[in-house]
Amino acid sequence: MPALWIRNARIVDPASKRDGVGDLFALDGKIVPRLSAADKKRARKIDAKGLVASPGLVDIHVHFREPGQTHKETIATGSRAAAAGGFTTVVCMPNTTPTADNAGTIQYILDAVRRDAVVKVLPTGCITIGAKGDTLAPIGSLKRAGVVAITDDGDCVQSNELMRRAIEYAKMFGLPVMDHCQDRSMTEGAVMNEGDMSIRLGLRGWPNAAEDVIVSRNVILSSYTGAHIHMQHISSAASVDILRRAKKDGVKVSGEATPHHIAFTDAALETYDPNFKMNPPLRTESDRVAIIAGLRDGTLDCISTDHAPHTDYEKDKEFDFAPNGILGLETALAVCLEELVRKNKFKLSALVDLMTRKPAELLGLPAGTLAQGAAADICLFDPDESWTYDARKGQSKSINSPWNGRTLVGRVKMTIVDGRIVYPLPAT
C-alpha cells in the first residue's frame, strides 16, 4: 500500500483538538506524523485545498438488510452508500431475516463483510430471540461471535423485567445495550405524530408519550443496575429533557439524533409522501428545536442516520400501508452542515465530533480520530459545494429518500479506509 500525503486541507479532528490547515500523512494504513523523503517521493499525493479532512464518519445505527432482505440492500451496496457519505465505520442492526440472534447468523454477516464491504461494518445482536421480546438471546455467545452491542431495534423490549435482566447480562459481558424506545400499546395502528397535523390529514396519531415512557423506564433501570443504555433516534422534546435530568444525576444513559428529525417536522407529511414516514415519526417544531438543543448541550451524544432502505414498490403505497424508514447515509453530512452549522451556528468541529469521536466512544470502537497511530480512516469534503441528490444514481440499492431531487450544500469528495481510497471507487 503506497503512502498517502494529503496536502493543504483544513484538518478537523476533535479527538486530537486539531483544527487548522495543514498536511496529513498515512503509511501502511495508519496515521503518521510525517513521511520520510523516500516515502514522500512514492506517496499518493492529494491536493485538498479548500477541503476539510476529518476522521472518517461513524454511524452506529444502520440497516443493511443482509441476510434475507437483499432486495432492499446488501452489505456491498450499503457499504458503498456509507463510503459515498464519508462514513468509514458503521454498525448494522440485527433485524434481518433471520434475525441476528445467534452466532451462526453473526458469522454469516461477518463473512459477507469480509467479502463485500468497502468500509468497516460491525454487527449487533438481538436482545431477545427473534427480537420478539419474550426470551433473552444468548448474549455471551453473541459477544464471542463478534457483536459490538445488543439491540432489538425495530422493536422494543416491552417487559421491564426482561429488559432489566438483559442489561444486567450485557453489563457482565461489557456490551452496550441500545434501545428503540416505543411503548407498543400506545402506537397500535399509528402512522404519524399525534397532533394538529394528524387530525388534519385524518391519520392515526403516534403520541410522544410512547417514547417518553420507555426512555423513563430505561433511565430507572440504568440507575438501578448501573448498566449503560443508549436510546436510539430520540424524537421527543420530553425525552430530551428526561435524558438531560438523568445525566445531571449521573445515570449512565445516552441518546442519538437523526438528520431527518433535525431537518423535518410532521408538516412535511402534508402531501402524504411515504418517504417522510419513519419510526419514530417526524414530530413538531418544538420537538425539532429541543433535539438541536440536546445536541448542543451534550444531552444527545451523537448523530446516527438510521439508514433504512425499502424498495420503491414497498414504499409506493397508501401512507397507512407503506413501511417506515428512509435512506440516510449519502445525505447525512450535507443535511447536518445545513441544519446545524449554517442555520444553528454549531462550530464545524462540534458537528464533526458528533459524527466521529462521540459515536465511536459510545460503543468503544477504534475509530473517530486522526491521532498518530490511528487507522487512516479519512473523510475529505467540501463544506460549500452545492449539488442535487439523485437517489437513483446513488450507491444504495433503494431510493426511499425525502431528499431525492433536493439541492444540498456540502459534499463528500473522497473517503479513505485504512489508507485506501474507497470513494470515489476507481472505474472498472
Q: Tell me the HSE value of 365 on the side-chain side, using a 13 A CA sphere.
A: 31
What are 70's three cell numbers? Answer: 437483499
Q: Which amino acid is at 87?
A: F
What distance in Å separates the CA atoms of residue 309 and residue 95, rounded to the nearest whole number? 13
Catalytic-residue membership of 134: no
What are 404's three cell numbers? Answer: 431525492
Give me the helix-helix angle, 209-225 and 160-172, nearest 10°. 50
List, in sequence order, the alpha helices (H) in 33-187.
Answer: 37-42, 75-84, 103-116, 139-145, 160-172
Distance from CA of residue 383 to its chain's centroid? 20
Cβ–Cβ under 8 Å, residues 414 and 46: yes
Cβ–Cβ under 8 Å, residues 185 and 213: no
Residue with grid cell 490511528, as numbered in its chain: 374
What are 13's three cell numbers? Answer: 479532528
What are 368's three cell numbers? Answer: 473517530
Q: What are the DSSP calls for 264-291, one per residue? A: --GGGGGG--GGG--SSPP--HHHHHHH
Which candidate in 306, 353, 377, 418 is catalytic? Answer: 306
DSSP-derived secondary structure letter, 2 = -
How many C-beta neighbours within 10 Å does residue 3 have? 21
How many C-beta neighbours within 10 Å does residue 280 have? 25
Q: How far apart are the first and last CA of the chain?
A: 20
Cβ–Cβ under 8 Å, residues 382 and 408: no
Dihedral sign for Cα atoms in the order 191, 192, 195, 201: negative
What distance in Å separates the CA atoms of residue 385 and residue 280, rounded to the nearest whole number? 31
What distance in Å separates the CA atoms of residue 142 and residue 119, rounded to the nearest whole number? 22
Active site residue ranges: 306
